[in-house]
Amino acid sequence: MKVICLGAHILDILGRPVPDIPPGQGRRVLDEIRITAAGTAGGTAVDLAKLGADVVSIGPVGDDVTGRLLLDLLAGHGVDVRHMARRPGLATPATMLPIRPNGERPALHAPGAMATLTAADVPLDLVAEADVLHVGGPDVLGDFTRDALPDLLRFAASHGTVVSMDLLSVGRPELVDVLRPAWQHTGYLLPNDDQIRGVTGRDDLVEAAGVARAAGVGTVIVTTGAEGCVVVDDGGVVRIPAFEVPVVDTTGCGDAFTAGLLVGLGSGRALADAARLGTAAAALVAQGLGSDAGIVDLPSTLAFGAVA
Ligand SMILES: Nc1ncnc2c1ncn2[C@@H]1O[C@H](COP(=O)(O)OP(=O)(O)OP(=O)(O)O)[C@@H](O)[C@H]1O
Ligand SMILES: [Mg+2]
């Protein structure tokens, strides 16, 4: 299975546990600090590679140490980074995450080069031959999303490449008009509950999913953290519960969900089984620090989720 992960690739620096930031110049000793390749495209790329997919990453990074480290981490997981867009003089997108004792993850983010992607960065021959084009974070890619993404996704869909999409920011209502032309060609939209509510202005998740489906999205899966997810498509509404696991850090759970879902669909599984594989991948990530924690490979993820 060939997947292109296009969009937000972020270097995450995580520490735990951080119940609060010490006042003044106070100091706190942590159990653990990690650095990972993350982001709605980058984190998903790592998880997809672990689950056995051939993954090409395309996203903007700076030419700084942070960028070299990010590319090295991605490549170490087997992700093809030859098409990452290096931006001289700009900083690589990065996030500091002080993880609370309950696993919650406030994020302190510097976008750097994030909004500099252009159509010229995306080789169309790769898009045509991929099984899936996953767009991670169209809401943070600046002009690219309005100017280039609709045509790119139309091209992908017309070549039989399945398009999936996840958001990065807390959704804003003005985004809906920017995303609508891209949604026409989107097979799977995978936001979390806050994001789909923020973008559509609808509180009810099924109604909110309906707004995206009315704009052309085939299947909307809204992830709802520890509750699980809500799958909305032509077949109706299905709720899939999360696994009850000891949570360390939920960073990247949504990215892992995406990876599991795509691998499930790519291996011919029914939508509900693919979503269950996504749920299993997410539960594994929740049990360690960082978006690359927990998942080892496909057989162990299938076994954990009791997915046939
Ligand atoms: N506390 C938890 N316990 C078990 N599973 C969880 C927990 N939090 C999240 N998950 C799993 O991860 C999936 C995605 O979680 P969530 O809705 O938090 O995504 P997200 O906010 O997009 O995360 P991120 O953007 O950091 O990747 C959920 O559908 C669920 O299966
Ligand atoms: Mg997410």
* Amino acid identity, position 113: A
- One-letter-per-residue 3-state SS of the chain: CEEEEEECCEEEEEEECCCCCCCCCCCCCCCEEEEEEECCCHHHHHHHHHCCCEEEEECEEECCHHHHHHHHHHHHCCCECCCCEEECCCCCCEEEEECCCCCCCCCEEECHHHHHCCHHHCCHHHHHHCCEEEEECHHHCCHHHHHCHHHHHHHHHHCCCEEEEECCCCCCCCHHHHHHHHHCCCCEECCEHHHHHHHHCCCCHHHHHHHHHHCCCCEEEEECHHHEEEEEECCEEEEEECCCCCCCCCCCHHHHHHHHHHHHHHCCCCHHHHHHHHHHHHHHHHCCCCCCCCCCCHHHHHHHHCCC
162 domain-assigned: yes
155 in contact with ligand 1, CB cutoff 6 A? no
pLDDT per position as a tens digit, 231-290: 999 999 999 999 999 999 999 999 999 999 999 999 999 999 999 999 999 999 999 999
223 in contact with ligand 1, CB cutoff 6 A? yes
Number of structural domains (the chain) is 1
Ligand 1 atom with least separation from CA of 283 = 5
72 domain-assigned: yes
Structural contact between residues 173 and 161, judged by C-beta atoms closer than 8 angstroms: no
21 domain-assigned: no
Q: What is the mean pLDDT of residues 185-205?
A: 97
Mean residue pLDDT across the chain:
97
27 domain-assigned: no
171 in contact with ligand 1, CB cutoff 6 A? no
Q: What are phi and psi for residue 121, nearest 5 degrees?
A: -80, -10
- Its domain, for residue 278, covers 2-16+32-305
Q: Report the CATH number at residue 143.
A: 3.40.1190.20
Mutational test site, ligand 1, from 46, 167, 223, max ligand atoms within 8 Å of CB:
223
134 domain-assigned: yes
Tell me the pLDDT band of 155, cut-offs 50, 70 and 90: very high
Mutational test site, ligand 1, from 250, 258, 289, max ligand atoms within 8 Å of CB:
250
The pLDDT value given to residue 77: 98
Round to the nearest angstrom and report the end-to-end CA distance of the chain.
19
Tell me the pLDDT band of 143, cut-offs 50, 70 and 90: very high
pLDDT per position as a tens digit, 95-108: 999 999 998 889 99
The pLDDT value given to residue 148: 98
Statement: residue 226 has pLDDT above 90: yes
Distance CA 270, CA 4 (A): 22
36 in contact with ligand 1, CB cutoff 6 A? no
45 domain-assigned: yes
255 in contact with ligand 1, CB cutoff 6 A? yes
Mutational test site, ligand 1, from 253, 255, 276, max ligand atoms within 8 Å of CB:
253
The pLDDT value given to residue 187: 98
The pLDDT value given to residue 21: 93
Statement: residue 308 has pLDDT above 90: no
Q: Can you say whether the dihedral through the CA atoms of 16, 19, 21, 22 is positive or negative?
A: negative
Statement: residue 11 has pLDDT above 90: yes
23 domain-assigned: no
274 domain-assigned: yes
pLDDT per position as a tens digit, 33-70: 999 999 999 999 999 999 999 999 999 999 999 999 99
